[in-house]
Amino acid sequence: MIGVIFGVIVPYIAVAIFVAGVVYRFVNWANSAVPLKIPTTGGQQKSFPFIKRTIYDRFDSPYTWWETVGRMILEIFMFRSLLKNTRYYLDRASQKDARWLWLFAILFHYSLLLVLIRHSRFFLQPVPEFVEMLSEIEAFKGVFIPSVYISGLAIVAGLFLLWLRRIFLSRERTLSLPSDHFALILLLAITISGNIMRYFFKADLAAVKELLMNLMVFNVGKAAAIADSIEPIFYIHFALASFLLAYFPFSKLMHAGGVLFTPTRNMPNDNRAKRHINPWDSDPSVPILTKGITVSGMTFTSKKLDWDTYYSMYTDQLDEIAESDYKIVPEEL
Amino acid sequence: MYNKKYVIPLILIFLVGFFTPYWYNAMAGSFGYEPELKKPAGECVEDSKWMAANHMLLLQQWRTQAIRHGAEGGRIYHSFTTGEEYHASTNTCWSCHDSKEEFCDQCHDYVGIHPECWDCHYTPDIEKPQYQGTDSLSKFFS
Amino acid sequence: MEEMPEKIEIRQRFPEWREMLKPVKELEEGRTSYLSTPKQVDSEFFKMPFGDVERDLHDLKLPENWKELFLEAMKDTLEKNRAFKLFMDICVRCGACADKCHYYIGTGDPKNMPVGRAELIRSVYRRYFTPSGKIFGEWAGARELTEDVVKELYYYAYQCSLCRRCSLFCPYGIDTAEIVWWLRRILSRIGLNQRFMTISIEASARTGNHLGLLPGGMVGAIQQGLEELKDVTGFDLHTYINKKGADVLFVAPSADYFATPHWFVMLGYLLLFNELEEKYGLTITWSTYASEGGNFGTFHSYEAAQLLNSKIYKEAERLGVSFIIGGECGHMWRDKHQFINTMNNPPKNEEWKKFWENPDLGELAEGLRGIRFDSYASGEHGWIHILEFTAALIEHNKITIDKSRNDHWTATYHDPCNVARGMGMVEEPRYVLRNVMNKFYDMPEHTIKDKTYCCGAGGGMLADEIMDLRMRGVMPRMMAVRHVYKKYGVNILLTPCAIDKAQFPHALEYWKIPIEVGGPMEMVGNALVLTAFGEKPEDRQYDLRGEPLGGEEDVQ
Amino acid sequence: MMSRRKFLILTGAVAAGTILPTQISAKTQFVEAAEEIEAKRRWGMAVDVAKCTECMEELIAKTGNEKVKPPCVVACDKENNVPEFKEKRFDPQWMRIAKLKLEKPVNAKEFYIPLLCNHCEYPPCVQVCLTKASFKRPDGIVEIDMHRCIGCRYCMIACPYGARSFNFLDPREGLEEINPKVQMRTEGVVEKCTFCVHRVDEAIAKGEEPVPACVEACHKFGKGALVFGNVKDPNSEIAKILRENMPVQLRANLGTDPHVFYLKLGGE
Amino acid sequence: MAVEFKKIEGDSIQYIALVIILAVVTGAGFYAYVLDHEIGGLNGLSNRVPWGIVNAGIPYFIGLSAGSLIVSALAGVFNIKKYKVFSRIAAYMAAAWIIAAILSIALDIGKLYHFMNAVKYFNPTSIFSWNAFLYSSYFVICSIYLLVQFEEMERATRFMAGLAVFWAVLVHSGTGAIYSFMYSKELYHSALTPPMFIVCAITSGLGLLLATLYFTFKFTNRELDPSLIRGLGLIFAGLMMVLGYFLAVEGLEKGYIPGLHKAVQFVFLNPGTGVFWSFWLLVVFGIAIPTIIILYPKTGYDLRWISVAGILHAALVFAERFYLIIPGQVFPEEYLPGYELESLHTLEGYVVSYTPTIFEWLQIIGLIAMVYLIFVVGVKLFALIPERAVEEVVEE
């Protein structure tokens, strides 16, 4: 029974929620307009040719499409902004580089990537060679039996480090919400249960793969039969992972996709070369406030600010300027 | 929806990426593939279901036993399941499972694991001629 | 002016997360901006909703359906601005931004951490716009929208100078400035506006500049500048205003017309313009209609920003100029760089179009041939920063510089936040300064360029009633200045930003660093040899401040 | 039943989890006083140099090949899957014949002796092995655990007798026949003579006297110069020979106490 | 005012080119390793000479590391304040060299993926086993030492400096012991080796550091006071003479034993072999000439000459490692005293030649490039180099 619920029904629901949820979030974000081109410029802009612009400036203050792509890639794969992190020492009134968070984050995320790649062996038949190679390299094939996968341990370490930060650093503790702890605990539970299954209470991996291969082709009857034969320990790991999948699109974990949408990073700093059009104010010949804004049924309209209005207000003074032929000279004393 | 030029490919990449197993397995023609194990000649030293998950631990015990203790003590294994004694050696396994390809490799390939045992250890599938003992040296010295 | 705080004690508090969701009880004196009163907001030039109500922070007098209005405005914002929506969703609260905020460093108030500030509105977002917040309430970090919450939102929205330093360090580029800017817009929909800002916006909408200077007053101010320059140089200099047919429109922040030390920068502009006209025939005109480069609307809302900057392209078109030069101002360049050509249609006059087909200064003044703008600008924008312009003149040897005239100054340079992080101009000013003076030193690396600290008065925070906050916010910057003051004996802090120039004299006095404040163009003015007027390098006896040149001992 | 199985699971798991050497659990489970049994024995080998020289001289005369491999060497190679490579510097050789000549007389006679691992009482290779991959069994056989060897070659430096070879190349490529009773080696590990430990173990299990392949071949095809046996057993042949002769150990001054003894140096 | 350390901008074409070149060379080194192991037998090793120059890299890099660290700790342990300016660079280099040393072991061993066994099964009688522990702990100590320097924790820095020096001595004696305790090889066995290793470590580490400092300060346009370098140079020259003394004593002792006459003759007087050249080049170009350069007043104050001396010495200390490791292997041991012995089937009993191949050289050069890659990237990421290194900086 456990097998059927957690081995067949739950994963189907989780995957459906995950896929629909992520697509919904993407569409939802894309439905909002980007009124302004507002990149945060972290380096020297593109300027006169004689102004030196280094390779870092190209990525921190991108001008072309490719430079912007480069910035995003560095951001996503190197966590470049976190690498720049500093810490302010109140007692010394100065700041220094602080890269621990970067280190922990890199440790966790890359371990996660490796772990996911390794898990792809349960879904792909035949198992791709690079997956096998990667697993063998990180496990130092042959040293331990069964193989000890470094990424599997590193991910637990990384998660603990990230969590301990939230628990012991007063500032992080203050700004951590229950959901922040929850996400970390959930991931810890998944990774720890996975490790336990790997090293202590073993499950029959071939059966697990058979289950997944059958689930994929909606061979429900057979899958249910296989599911019942797998050790219960597997279902702790599997159910938690399913839950994470379903939880993902509706939590802060969605930062994985959101980072691609962030307007302060994914736009080039070429405002002066290419005009950005605001989709909800595409013909701004008259300012919105002059046209009027409506709040609670009332319309508020500002007076026109064109030259004629202005001239009519200060005619005398402007005429005086015109008389002096628009030229200002020092007064003769 | 704004920025369709980027968002739609992004969604497609996500879907293609997430559903990699589908197109990958479709291309390999391996949907629903399951390994088929050759039926062994006799009973296994332990319960076969237990062996499926834990045989590596057993073999590891055997190898340490056989190498580091040798002689009488080390090479004899008492089975939990049958209670019988077995000689701790890969050759003991080969007496029932006579093909690595049709037995071991089936599951190992299926879950993408390649133990390095066969770098050194003899398997029944080996192609080279087998040595027949000192008597066969008579062709050199007689 | 409000009294300077006697003593600053930074008390860091680390309440638990539940505490963070509760609105603050007491709004501290010296950190709370005054609310707008009908007199300023209900002006016909800057018509804002519910500006006709006398309110103060003890009695907000919100409209009856304020909650709906607020949520409606928020929904509208979520649709109109992807940044706002995204930044509501993807923050992981890693804390990287926390100690990047100068106000947080200075106050120790946890809600002043950029993430804390954003959480104030994020919690409301969760409660009303996400399923988890609706279901789990507080445990999902959501909270009800109450009058206290609105009060708190106002309190903290006006403790941010929109400097974007947090955005630089955020792994997802979450820009708290963007959140706060749109939050202020939402607040203005239920009638909550900051007094200091609305006064300036109204004045700017009416007269063209924040100070409310009328055309005659502006002419008089410039005229006085020319008189002072006659004393310093001995030449009869002139300039143009509202002149049709000039080559270039020059737009400066209005503080340059009056305030000190902005004034010396103004003198610097005038010297440069005269030299260029006399030598090359490039005419540059001021305008009374577009007399303000700064734009306090960029602190308030999209609409207000658009209202104010709509004048300049219109004026450029009316006067028939070829391009626009902008003066030394910080947020002006966020506006003029990133906003203006989205918010307005660029000029359509013939001269403009013709020039930008081949944007070489030689098209306007033959002697300046070779200085081209097309490596980074086009006719869709048309703004050049005065320091970029000067850097190009120096690079092409179009002006004569006598560095030694600035030998009595040992300078350091403060990057205005918006210029560094909203525009990316960091090398040009340094290029200019290295070429016009001998003694120029940068502050420590984490406090300059893109990582520059805010002066603590930007984004509408120049109001006098929040002097305590300003002095706290400027603290990290002052510590960096003190470092170079001790190390190199720096005696002037240069910054191309009008708000900085207004804030730093107070701050330097408060933090007891006895040095002057100025702008790079002042140094250019000092060093510029008016060869077209026949000036020799040794002719100038006084600098623009009227102090005798010649040797450091005079200054020491 | 169940409890014992659980025990195996747990010991295995603990071993993997805490990086403890697995033999701890092995000892407690399988080997009942194995050391005591084995400590009764101490394997050694005696070489009659005169017979050996005679055999070699005959063989060289017959084949005309100066570097001919005598039966003992060939048997060793075949028995233990020792590969053969053209390039001599990479070629592993567990047992090889050396030509010996006294420096003094002008036309000194040449003798032939076999060189192999001496299975020292105090083996320097075991002393230096980084991972305890080289170890000495209680019965005196010095063995290499290929699963542990990291290929650092420190033992080769430490060995005073040059008995060890490193697998620079994949040894399978140098094999024509395979003896399934002895595992092959892989590239990157060190190997050497084991006194045909598999034969020893098998014989002991059957209650027979063990005979290594070289000894067997020496007696079958050679002059019977090699004698293998338990030096602790006063009745064994080797004990008798060692008692009656004045055996020489190689590099005895190092104090490693090698257990290959050379007899009758200089002939009868 | 305290010394101020500052990162470099690292945005010039030259810098990026340097990083790329170093990365390519490092990559080539690792590729050579892969080729050597995939194809097999591309090295010059044999069953007689199983340890070649990749192995010689271990003591060499350890030496550079230990030497660098001892310079770094001068400020902390001996309280010589003026050398505080170099303490970060030196400690960082020390950590980088130890990585190279550990990698050198990794490249040298035959079954790389078995190396965890060295941690799993510790053999207390094996010096190498102890060293595996010492090297890794030494790296940790170096890192902590660097960290406390970055955090400006004064007391912790002094404590860690002391500990690091103690550990460096321990590590290096241990490395010396790997070779010197090998009683099976007559030419290895010498009690002088560990102390000589320490001296040699300091001189080579210091020599290379002098050159590194000179070039670093030159290319970053920072001020470097020659008198500071001069002080280090004198220590350098003094210790080089001590090294020469050790070499002489060891050689003479070996030469005094009749049983070793042949071997000693082979090593010192046989110009046909690399061993001969490694020794005499070391003595002439590695010790004599650098010492003269430092002591001769005209060149001894010139930073360029000092760095030449440093590089010469550091490069030829590699020859010293060669001289230390190879002769004991190529010269045959005497199995049975008085008898000549020649194996029919292996190379036993012959003088074996060992010539390192290009693949082995590439591995060593790749590791050196890797260290400088770490260094060059490090000065951009961490505040390692002082803004200016002059004596009065500290005295203020």
| pLDDT tens digits, C93-109 | 999 999 899 999 999 99
Give the pLDDT band (50/70/90) at residue C60: confident
Give the per-residue pLDDT at D22: 33
CA D148, chain centre distance (Å): 18
Strands D190-191 and D165-166, by their bridges, are: antiparallel
3-state secondary structure of D178: strand
The residue whose two tokens read 């609670």 is A296
Asked whether residue B103 is domain-assigned, the answer is yes
Cα gap A244→E127, rounded to integer Å: 50
D249 touches chain B (CB under 8 A): no
Give the pLDDT band (50/70/90) at residue B70: low
Asked whether residue B24 is domain-assigned, the answer is yes
Chains in touch with C (≥3 Cβ pairs < 8 A): A, E
The two tokens of residue B135 are 């008597």
By C-alpha distance, the chain E residue nearest A100 is: E147
Domains of chain D: 1-31 (no CATH), 33-263 (3.30.70.20)
Contact E199, E245 (CB under 8 A): no
Q: Which residues of chain A fall short of a pLDDT of 50?
A: none
DSSP string computed for C95-162: -TTGGG-HHHHHH--GGGSHHHHHHHHHHHHHHHH-HHHHHHGGGGT-----HHHHHHHHHHHTT---
Q: Which residues of E touch C (CB under 8 A)?
A: 1, 6-7
Asked whether residue B141 is domain-assigned, the answer is no
Q: Which residues of chain E fall short of a pLDDT of 50?
A: 1, 393-396
Give the per-residue pLDDT at D36: 57
CA distance A140 to chain B (A): 11
Percent of chain C with pLDDT over 70: 98
Give the pLDDT band (50/70/90) at residue C29: confident
Element (H or E) spanning A294, and its range? strand A293-295
Residue E99 is part of a domain; what is its CATH number? 1.20.1630.10
Count of Cβ atoms closer than 10 Å to residue D1 Cβ: 11
Which chain E residues are within 8 Å of C486, Cβ to Cβ?
A: 1
Asked whether residue B114 is domain-assigned, the answer is yes
Contact D49, D264 (CB under 8 A): yes
Cα gap A41→C333, rounded to integer Å: 13
Which residues contact residue C383 at a Cβ distance below 8 angstroms, ignoring those fewer than 6 apart?
A272, C323, C324, C325, C326, C336, C337, C340, C377
Contact C215 A105 (CB under 8 A): no
> Crossing angle of helices E193-219/E154-180, nearest 10°?
130
Give the pLDDT band (50/70/90) at residue D14: very low
> How much is the average pLDDT of D245-262?
91
Amino acid at D120: C
Amino acid at B43: E
Q: Can you tell me the ipTM of this complex?
A: 0.88
Contact B70 D145 (CB under 8 A): no
Whether B29 and B91 share a structural domain: no
By C-alpha distance, the chain B residue nearest A124 is: B21
pLDDT above 50: residue D33: no
Give the per-residue pLDDT at D34: 52
All CATH 1.10.1060 domain ranges of chain C, comma separated, are 17-30+49-192
Which residues contact residue E24 at a Cβ distance below 8 angstroms, ignoring those fewer than 6 apart?
none
D227 or E153, greater pLDDT = D227
The residue whose two tokens read 């999902």 is C140
Give the per-residue pLDDT at A17: 95
B112 touches chain A (CB under 8 A): yes
Cα gap E363→E369, rounded to integer Å: 10
> How much is the average pLDDT of C209-215?
88
CA C246, chain centre distance (Å): 27
Whether B60 and B83 share a structural domain: yes
Quick: pLDDT tens for C237-280.
999 999 998 999 999 998 999 888 899 999 999 999 999 999 99
Contact D147 A142 (CB under 8 A): yes
Contact E321, E60 (CB under 8 A): yes
Distances (CA, A) of B64 to B139, D130, E53: 37, 18, 35
Q: How many helices (H) and strands (E) does chain A have?
A: 17, 5
Element (H or E) spanning B105, and its range? helix B105-110
> How much is the average pLDDT of C502-521?
92
Which chain A residues are within 8 Å of D13, Cβ to Cβ?
A: 199-201
Quick: pLDDT tens for A65-81.
999 999 999 999 999 99
Cα gap B14→B11, rounded to integer Å: 5
Whether B1 and B47 share a structural domain: no
Nearest by CB to residue A54, choosing from E11, E150, E382, is: E11
CA C437, chain centre distance (Å): 25
Whether B52 and B112 share a structural domain: yes
C486 touches chain E (CB under 8 A): yes
For residues E209-234, one letter each, b for 16 or more C-beta atoms within 10 angstroms of the residue's C-beta and e for the rest, the string is bbbbbbebbeebeeebbeebbebbbe
Asked whether residue B142 is domain-assigned, the answer is no
Cα gap C156→C194, rounded to integer Å: 12
Give the per-residue pLDDT at C555: 44
Cα gap C455→C447, rounded to integer Å: 11
Strands B85-87 and B76-78, by their bridges, are: antiparallel
Cα gap B29→E256, rounded to integer Å: 78
Contact C284, C243 (CB under 8 A): no
Measured at the CA of E133, the angle between CA E130 and CA E134, to 5 degrees, comes to 85
Asked whether residue B138 is domain-assigned, the answer is no
The residue whose two tokens read 């000439």 is E289
Contact B32, A213 (CB under 8 A): yes
Quick: pLDDT tens for E345-356.
888 888 888 989
Count of Cβ atoms closer than 10 Å to residue C273 Cβ: 22
3-state secondary structure of D193: coil
| Domain tally, chain B | 2
Which chain C residues are within 8 Å of E7, Cβ to Cβ?
A: 445
Cα gap D7→D25, rounded to integer Å: 9
Distances (CA, A) of E357 to C373, E32, E362: 58, 11, 9
Which chain E residues are within 8 Å of C448, Cβ to Cβ?
A: none
DSSP string computed for A184-196: HHHHHHHHHHHHH
Give the per-residue pLDDT at D32: 43
Contact C204, C311 (CB under 8 A): no
A289-296, long-range: CB within 8 Å, 24+ apart, which pairs?
A: A289/C46, A289/C47, A289/C303, A289/C304, A289/C306, A289/C307, A290/C307, A290/C310, A293/C49, A293/C303, A295/C49, A295/C50, A295/C69, A295/C73, A295/C189, A296/C49, A296/C63, A296/C65, A296/C69
Give the pLDDT band (50/70/90) at residue C551: low
CA distance D240 to chain A (A): 45
User: How high is the mean pLDDT of chain C?
Assistant: 90
Quick: pLDDT tens for A13-52.
999 999 999 999 999 999 999 999 999 998 899 999 999 8
Please tell me the total number of residues recorded for chain B in this structure. Answer: 142
Which residues contact residue C469 at a Cβ distance below 8 angstroms, ignoring those fewer than 6 apart?
C30, C31, C103, C106, C107, C159, C456, C461
Contact C479, C487 (CB under 8 A): no
The residue whose two tokens read 């005086």 is A320
Whether B7 and B47 share a structural domain: no
Beta-carbon contacts below 8 Å between A and E: 28
Range of the domain at E176: 5-395
Distances (CA, A) of E124 to A333, C62, C105, E128, E137: 100, 80, 54, 9, 16
Phi, psi angle pair for C455, to nearest 5°:
-75, -10
Give the per-residue pLDDT at D268: 52
pLDDT above 80: residue D7: no
- For residue B78, the cross-strand partners are B85
Nearest by CB to residue A300, choosing from C47, C63, C168, is: C47
Give the per-residue pLDDT at D95: 93
Cα gap E100→E288, rounded to integer Å: 28
Quick: pLDDT tens for D146-183.
888 999 999 999 999 999 999 999 888 888 888 888 88
Give the pLDDT band (50/70/90) at residue C336: very high
3-state secondary structure of C194: strand
Cα gap A134→A116, rounded to integer Å: 11
Q: Do chains D and C touch (3 or more CB pairs under 8 A)?
A: no
For residues C26, C29, C35, C36, the Cα torsion angle rounded to the nearest 10 degrees is 170
Contact A144 D13 (CB under 8 A): no
> How much is the average pLDDT of D120-124?
93
The two tokens of residue C394 are 């120096």
CA distance E1 to chain C (A): 8
Range of the domain at B18: 1-33
- Backbone conformation region of residue A93, classed left if phi is above 0, alpha if psi is from -120 to 50, else beta: left
Measured at the CA of E229, the angle between CA E228 and CA E233, to 5 degrees, comes to 125
Contact B116 A142 (CB under 8 A): yes
pLDDT above 60: residue C436: yes
Cα gap D75→D213, rounded to integer Å: 6
B71 touches chain D (CB under 8 A): yes
CATH number of this structure's domain C17-30+49-192: 1.10.1060
Q: Is C71 exposed, middle or buried (0-12, 13-18, 19+ CB in 10 A)?
A: middle
State yes or no: cis peptide before A39, omega within 30 of 0: no
